[in-house]
Amino acid sequence: MVDGEFSVADVAVGSYLNYVPIFFPDTDLSATPNTAAYMLRCAERPAYAAAFGQGHTDAVKSKAAAALARGGSGGGGPQDMLKKLFK
């Protein structure tokens, strides 16, 4: 998020995105492939599993990878995702 380097900003944003698979398991991240790719990059960092546990790390990786495999078939982008999250 900052100059192409992992920073405290990534820790802050990544920790919030960490809750998507827990609280919003039906969210289709394929509508936001950049977010899904970012979540996957965060979850692939060794310290991620140390902080959140391997089970949760695997869940985030699985959710993000599945969204990327669908290739953006989720529809209306970030606005659509937010509507679904907060309906």
Domain hosting 49: range is 8-85
Q: What is the pLDDT of residue 75?
A: 53
**pLDDT tens digits along 26-80:** 888 888 899 999 999 999 999 999 999 999 999 999 999 999 998 765 555 555 6
Residue 79 lies in a domain: yes
Number of domains forming the structure of the chain: 1
- Could you tell me if residue 58 is inside a domain? yes
pLDDT at 24: 86
Q: Which two structure tokens, joined as six digits, stand for 13?
A: 């944003």
Q: Which pLDDT value is given to residue 40? A: 94
For the entire predicted model, the pTM comes to 0.76
Q: Is residue 3 included in any domain, yes or no?
A: no
Distances (CA, A) of 57 to 38, 40, 62: 14, 9, 9
